[in-house]
């Protein structure tokens, strides 16, 4: 295919690459596996997002001391996690990606009969197969939900394409222009994440006949680090903690050093 000749001073965009068409031998099983992989990808995004929220909660007068212990690290932490979230959301919601929620919905609509989705019938308390036409209508509703977030998704992709995976000279020299041309608020990102969560959760219900909580529940997170950091710092500077010897607990071989210190102290009594 010949590209049209560009007028002088006008860039001619390249055509979007065509997706490789892969025929499914077993759509019922393959689309279920595909859905599970998308859910795990979204869980990764939500995990990163949760850590950023926890970090933000420490930016208060009574908590900021913990962040100040490693302020440079936590700035890098926030910077890296935020950028990763944008990239991962693009992978989930960019129509140009070979594997995405958009691609999954298209394939599920095409194979609506083969995948045999079900829904719970409250009248007879049984699950029943959804007829293809009804399931395709559900998918169309989910596709429309993504379309409603199109402006936000475009801004996410704009930031990715100009400063994350490519270095656009215009924004390299004037980085603040990115925030003007591709505005994104915290609420915008939460809205997109929750839309993706709703779609994947409902599709899981239809295909796996059970509900799913797409949330990350973890006790080992940034909160744990900050709680312990603040506690140790407070003990370190507390003049009343005369018998704790907090400086020894910073050593790799603290048990040996602590025993040695206590033995010397007992010998001098």
Q: What is the CA radius of gyration of the chain?
A: 27
User: DSSP assignment of 36-58, as one string?
Assistant: HHHHHHHHHHHHHHHHHHHHHHT
- Identify the burial level of 90 via C-beta atoms within 10 angstroms of its C-beta, where 0-12 means exposed, 13-18 middle and 19 or more buried: buried
Q: Which of 4-18, 41-55, 196-210, 219-233 has the lowest mean pLDDT?
A: 4-18
Tokens of 101: 């929620």
Instruction: Report domain extents, the chain.
Output: 27-217
Residue 216: what pLDDT? 83
pLDDT (tens digit per residue) in 101-145: 999 999 999 999 999 999 988 888 889 999 999 999 999 999 999
CA dihedral (25, 29, 32, 38) in degrees, to 10, reads: -50
CB 154 within 8 A of CB 147: no
State pLDDT tens for residues 244-255: 888 888 888 888
């Amino acid at each position: 295919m010949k590209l049209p000749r560009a007028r002088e001073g006008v860039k001619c965009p390249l055509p979007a690459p065509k997706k490789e068409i892969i025929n499914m031998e077993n759509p019922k099983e393959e689309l279920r596996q595909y859905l599970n992989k998308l859910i795990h990808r979204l869980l990764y995004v939500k995990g990163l997002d949760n850590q950023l929220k926890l970090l933000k909660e420490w930016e208060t007068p009574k908590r900021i001391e913990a962040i100040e212990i490693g302020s440079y690290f936590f700035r890098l932490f926030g910077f890296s996690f935020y950028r990763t979230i944008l990239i991962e959301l693009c992978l989930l919601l960019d129509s140009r990606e070979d594997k995405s929620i958009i691609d999954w919905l298209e394939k599920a609509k095409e194979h609506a009969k083969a995948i045999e989705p079900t829904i719970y019938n409250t009248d007879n308390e049984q699950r029943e197969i959804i007829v293809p036409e009804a399931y395709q209508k559900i998918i169309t509703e989910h596709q429309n939900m993504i379309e409603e977030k199109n402006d936000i998704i475009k801004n996410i992709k704009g930031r990715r394409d100009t400063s994350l995976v490519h270095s656009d000279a215009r924004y390299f020299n004037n980085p603040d222009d990115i925030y003007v041309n591709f505005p994104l608020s915290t609420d915008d990102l939460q809205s997109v994440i929750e839309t993706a969560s709703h779609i994947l959760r409902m599709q899981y219900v239809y295909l796996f006949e059970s509900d799913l909580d797409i949330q990350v529940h973890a006790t080992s997170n940034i909160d744990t680090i900050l709680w312990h950091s603040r506690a140790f710092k407070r003990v370190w500077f507390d003049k009343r903690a005369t018998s704790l010897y907090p400086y020894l607990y910073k050593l790799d071989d603290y048990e040996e050093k602590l025993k040695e210190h206590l033995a010397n102290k007992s010998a001098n009594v």
